[in-house]
Structure 1
Amino acid sequence: MDVTGRGVPGVGSDAAPRHLTFVPLLMGLKNMRDETVPATELLICTKCRRGQEVGDDAVRPGAALHRELSETGLPEGIRLTEVECLSNCSQGCTIALRGPGRWTFVFGNLHETNHLDTIRDGAARYRDTPDGLVPWRERPEHFRKNCIARIPPMEAQNV
């Protein structure tokens, strides 16, 4: 069998190539208006101590933030991913928002219980943009004042 999927039972020669079958999954999700919305990933640094001394057996603030968002949920189309370190230790808790073909944003100085709605709101606004660039005035106030980094998409040229 070649990469086009010819020779697979039930797949005709006019069918889409097999390697393109999962492209919609890779490229994004469908929103309620049936428009393609690129997938959004929310990364949370689970090793974050938020500038505090934390015992070896204690739950770190970053892990608590991840747990709270896992248990209470995120807007549709946003995938939660834990990472061990985002190297923003002095300004934690830290999150990042990223997606294919989009700018990546890193936000810090987040509290594991006080900023849950801020994170949900900011992630939903990010998700709803085609390029990840939420206009500054439309971002949650905490995101406006605590953007650690903004990283262009790999595909971007002349940025």
Structure 2
Amino acid sequence: MENPPGAQLLERLQTVLEASPQPITLRPVACLAACDRGCTAAIAMPGRWTWLLGHLGPEKAEDLLAYAKLYAASAKGTVMPSRRPASLSDMILGRVPAAEQEPS
């Protein structure tokens, strides 16, 4: 496939971020092992839950970034379903607890 769906989503996310710079870092990965769930993305920050979202496409880029902003503003990395963009309401595939940080 010349331009797979995941690459299309990444390109759209990059375009949106260039147009409206936000403190969001995109890290493309080859695989999140959710092949039967379409394009997937993980949203993570140190000390917070990590969320895995699936069934994404380029048309959801703006909503994915809106979700990321809400996530970043949350204390523990939880965005209540009522606050998520409607298009992402059934896109949550799972969550991973925050890793405990080693004491300095």
TM range (shorter): 0.7 to 0.9
Residue 75 of structure 1 deviates from its aligned partner by 5.5
In 1, the alpha carbon distance for the partners of 2:94 and 2:62 equals: 21
The one of the two structures with greater contact order (alpha-carbon pairs below 8 A, sep at least 6) is 2
Cα gap change, 1:121 to 1:149, in 2 (>3 Å): same
TM-score (norm 2): 0.86
In 2, the alpha carbon distance for the partners of 1:72 and 1:154 equals: 30
In 2, the alpha carbon distance for the partners of 1:133 and 1:143 equals: 14
Gaps of 5+ in 1: 1-54
Q: Which residue of 2 aligns with 1:150?
A: 95
* 1:102–1:131 contact (8 Å) kept in structure 2: yes
Q: Percent identity?
A: 32
Q: Secondary structure at the match of 1:66?
A: helix
| 2:62 is equivalent to residue 120 of structure 1 | no
TM-score (norm 1): 0.58
Residue 131 of structure 1 deviates from its aligned partner by 1.0
Q: Secondary structure at the match of 2:42?
A: strand
* 1:126–1:133 contact (8 Å) kept in structure 2: yes
Gaps of 5+ in 2: none
Count of aligned residue pairs for this structure pair: 99
Q: Secondary structure at the match of 2:47?
A: coil
Residue 77 of structure 1 deviates from its aligned partner by 1.8
1:68 partner letter: R
Q: Which runs of 4+ in 1 moved over 3 A?
A: none
Q: Which residue of 2 aligns with 1:106?
A: 52
